[in-house]
């Protein structure tokens, strides 16, 4: 059924008639219940608590069930947004979850970490009426959580097995989304993961307080239940080669190996002890659980911790530092708060937790003590100049204005580059000067016909949902290519 047929169903009509559009838009947007800042900033419990049934129903009523739902255009995986929201309004939460799963492999994850305010919610009709958008993300999380907590987890419809073997390189959001889509189409999918844990950035990157690992594990178990096989500790290109896979009968390969390589700024003192990448810091704390007493992996716990950068990873790092006991946890960002790429919600949460924001500041040097541990950073004061290519006003140094700040730990979160491990090991791939794998924009097919790619290995550093969108696109295209 297409959208207008779905929308014409009796139950949808009845719901629309039950409440006038004016009444719907008069309902204020729900506020996400969350843990109190002074409590949550000392533990790793999830900050957002999720909506109650009453809250979700009320919020679902706000959706006008538009004839032309522009929200759907904003979703990289094309979730049938009005349909699942109306199913919530009707009280049919399990069906709502099923609707989500028809197009998204990881709804409980997306409901937590997608930047909805820049995607679906940014296109909501309410915004045109100067009202707040329907909280699509909260509702997505509600439906996915409801289903999981009910114990009645439904599996998507699976086509009969066609026996064709497909390999996936990397078990992050791109790979998982691709694997789910291919399994639904009847393929025999095996996912190869380099680390000991399945989940990629969802496990090593995003902290527990924003996305609990147990949530990720359940989504992975759902994929297992539809036949996806996972092999950890295996690096395609190193442990096994593409030729090995071909010999083993694999007919298609999807590379979603992510943007592993952290960038540094190449400034004086950056290799001092206590200066590290956000990837290292978050991997220690998230993947290795280094903050727990029984974990063998150590992590430095600074008292004065500076995080360099203004993205979501920077927010995750600074809030982690606070939770690990930092007295001063600071964001150092070279532009102003307005240009920060982090989600507004993350910035808000960080501020509530007592994070300091030192904007229009850029580190230019670090100093250390005799044992090499960082003790101070020199910050250059910046002003905003002309807009650059990204449209953001570019920061320029204010001559002569610098300041030394005491720090004993610095987390550098200024972006990542594609992980070279896989592209370097596969012959024939076209790789851009940024190290990304070059693919056809629509099909995600690489210069080697049997290899498709998506996520950060193609984009260089984007979001979970864009990676998932790539996986979905690649699955459709690979399926067509294999059927030709």
3-state class (DSSP) for residue 281: helix
Distance CA 181, CA 254 (A): 12
Integer CA distances (angstroms), 460 to 191, 236, 374, 432, in order: 21, 19, 30, 10
Tell which positions 405-434 bind another protein, by CB under 8 A. Answer: 419-421
Residues 405/306, Cβ–Cβ less than 8 Å: yes
| Least distance between another protein and beta carbon 404 (Å) | 21
Query: Cα–Cα distance between 342 and 313 in angstroms, integer?
Result: 8
How many residues are given for the chain?
Answer: 484
Give, for 176, the enclosing helix (H) or strand (E).
helix 173-184
Least Cβ distance, residue 232 to another protein (angstroms): 7
Helix axes 173-184, 464-483, angle to 10 degrees: 40
- Residues 195-214 contacting another protein, CB under 8 A: 195-196, 204
Please state the closest distance from residue 173 (CB atom) to another protein, in A.
16
Terminal Cα distance for the chain, rounded: 26
Q: Which residues contact 103 (CB under 8 A, 6 or more apart)?
A: 77, 78, 79, 80, 472
273, β-bridge pairs:
373
Report the site for another protein in 299-338 (rule: CB under 8 A): 300
Among 361, 360, 340, residue whose Cα is nearest residue 407:
361
Question: How many CB atoms neighbour CB 99 within 10 A?
Answer: 24
Q: Is 462 in the site for another protein (CB under 8 A)?
A: no
Smallest separation, CB 280 to another protein (Å)? 4
Q: Please, which residue, 113 or 236, has the CB nearer to another protein?
A: 236
Least separation in angstroms between CB 363 and another protein: 15
Distance of closest approach, residue 237 Cβ to another protein, in angstroms: 10
Q: Count CB atoms within 10 A of the CB of residue 462.
A: 16
Name the segment binding another protein (CB under 8 A); options: 331-339, 351-359, 368-376, 456-464. 368-376
Whole-angstrom distance, CA of residue 326 vs CA of residue 311: 20
Per DSSP, 285 falls in state I
* 371, 386, 400, 484: residue in contact with another protein (rule CB under 8 A): 371
Nearest approach, Cβ of 260 to another protein (angstroms)?
4
Helices of type H across 301-444? 312-323, 344-352, 421-425
Count residues binding another protein (CB under 8 A): 43
The distance from CA 414 to its chain's CA centroid, rounded to whole angstroms, is: 17
Q: One symbol per residue from 254 to 293: x for binding another protein (CB under 8 A), - otherwise; what is it?
A: ------xxx-x-x---xxxxx-xx-xx--xx---xx--x-
CA distance 356 to 328: 7
Binding piece for another protein, criterion CB under 8 A, among 21-29, 295-303, 398-406, 426-434: 295-303
Q: How far is the CB of 212 from another protein (least distance, A)?
A: 18
Nearer to another protein, 203 or 323 (CB): 203
- For another protein, give the closer residue by CB, 329 or 416: 416
By CB under 8 A, is residue 294 in contact with another protein?
yes
Minimum distance from residue 242 beta carbon to another protein (Å): 13
Asked if 296 is part of the footprint of another protein (rule: CB under 8 A), the reply reads: yes
| Residue window 10-49: x/- pattern of binding to another protein, with contact defined by CB under 8 A | ----------------------------------------
**Residue closer to another protein, measured from CB, 94 or 261:** 261
> Which one, 294 or 399, has the nearer CB to another protein?
294
In angstroms, what is the minimal distance from the CB of 227 to another protein? 22
Separation between Cα atoms, residue 362 and residue 383, nearest integer Å = 11
β-strand pairing of 416-417 with 261-262:
antiparallel
By beta-carbon proximity to another protein, the closer residue of 256 and 262 is: 262
* Residue 239: CB minimum distance to another protein, A: 5
* 122's tokens: 């940014």
Q: Is residue 177 close enough to count as binding another protein by CB under 8 A? A: no
**Which 213-242 residues touch another protein, going by CB under 8 A?**
232-235, 238-241
Tell me whether residue 19 or residue 195 sits nearer to another protein (CB atom): 195
| Residue 271 or 432 having the CB closest to another protein | 271
Write down the least CB distance from residue 472 to another protein, Å.
Answer: 25
| Torsion sign across C-alpha atoms 32, 353, 461, 341 | positive
Burial class (CB in 10 A: 0-12, 13-18, 19+), 57: middle
Task: Specify the stretch interacting with another protein by CB under 8 A; choose among 18-26, 49-57, 66-74, 193-201.
Answer: 193-201
Residues 374-393 that bind another protein (CB under 8 A): none
Residues 6+ positions from 100 with CB-CB distance below 8 Å: 79, 84, 107, 140, 143, 144
Q: Enumerate binding residues for another protein (CB under 8 A).
A: 194-196, 204, 232-235, 238-241, 260-262, 264, 266, 270-274, 276-277, 279-280, 283-284, 288-289, 292, 294-298, 300, 371-373, 419-421
């Amino acid at each position: 059924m297409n959208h207008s047929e779905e929308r014409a169903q009796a139950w949808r009509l009845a719901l629309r008639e039950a409440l006038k559009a004016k009444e719907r838009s008069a309902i204020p947007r729900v506020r996400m219940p969350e843990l109190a800042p002074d409590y949550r900033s000392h533990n790793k419990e999830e900050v957002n608590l999720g909506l109650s049934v009453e809250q979700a129903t009320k919020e679902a009523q706000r959706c006008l069930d538009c004839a032309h739902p522009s929200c759907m255009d904003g979703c990289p995986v094309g979730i049938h947004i009005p349909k699942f929201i109306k199913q919530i309004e009707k009280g049919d939460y399990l069906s709502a979850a099923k609707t989500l799963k028809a197009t998204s492999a990881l709804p409980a994850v997306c409901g937590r970490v997608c930047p909805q305010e820049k995607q679906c919610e940014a296109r909501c009709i309410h915004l045109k009426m100067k009202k707040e958008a329907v909280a699509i993300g909260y509702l997505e999380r509600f439906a996915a959580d409801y289903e999981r907590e009910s114990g009645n987890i439904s599996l998507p419809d699976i086509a009969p097995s066609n026996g064709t073997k497909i390999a996936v390189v990397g078990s992050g959001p791109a790979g998982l989304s691709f694997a789910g889509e291919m399994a639904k189409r009847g393929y025999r999918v095996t996912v190869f993961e380099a680390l000991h844990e399945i989940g990629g950035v969802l496990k090593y990157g995003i902290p527990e307080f924003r996305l609990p690992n147990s949530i990720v594990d359940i989504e992975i178990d759902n994929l297992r239940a539809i036949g996806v096989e996972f092999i950890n500790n295996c690096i395609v290109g190193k442990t096994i080669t593409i030729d090995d896979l071909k010999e083993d009968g694999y007919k298609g390969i999807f590379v979603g190996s992510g943007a592993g390589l952290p960038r540094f700024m190449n400034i004086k003192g950056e290799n001092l002890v206590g200066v590290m990448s956000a990837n290292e810091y978050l991997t220690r704390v998230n993947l290795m659980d280094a903050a727990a007493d029984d974990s063998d992996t150590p992590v430095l716990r600074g008292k004065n911790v500076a995080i360099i950068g203004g993205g979501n990873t920077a927010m995750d790092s600074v809030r982690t530092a606070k939770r690990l006991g930092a007295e001063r946890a600071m964001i150092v960002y070279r532009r102003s708060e307005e240009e920060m790429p982090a989600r507004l919600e993350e910035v808000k949460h960080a501020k509530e937790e007592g994070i300091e924001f030192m904007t229009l500041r850029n580190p230019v040097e670090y100093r250390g003590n005799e044992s090499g541990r960082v003790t101070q950073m020199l910050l250059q004061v910046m002003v905003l100049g002309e807009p650059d290519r990204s449209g953001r006003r570019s920061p320029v140094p204010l001559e002569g204005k610098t300041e030394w700040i005491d720090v004993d730990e610095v987390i550098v979160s200024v972006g990542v580059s594609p992980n070279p491990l896989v592209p370097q090991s596969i012959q024939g791939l076209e790789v851009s000067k940024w190290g990304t794998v070059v693919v056809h924009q629509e099909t995600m097919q690489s210069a080697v016909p049997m290899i498709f790619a998506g996520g950060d290995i193609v984009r260089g550093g984007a979001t979970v949902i864009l990676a998932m969108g790539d996986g979905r696109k690649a699955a459709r295209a690979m399926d067509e290519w294999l059927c030709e």
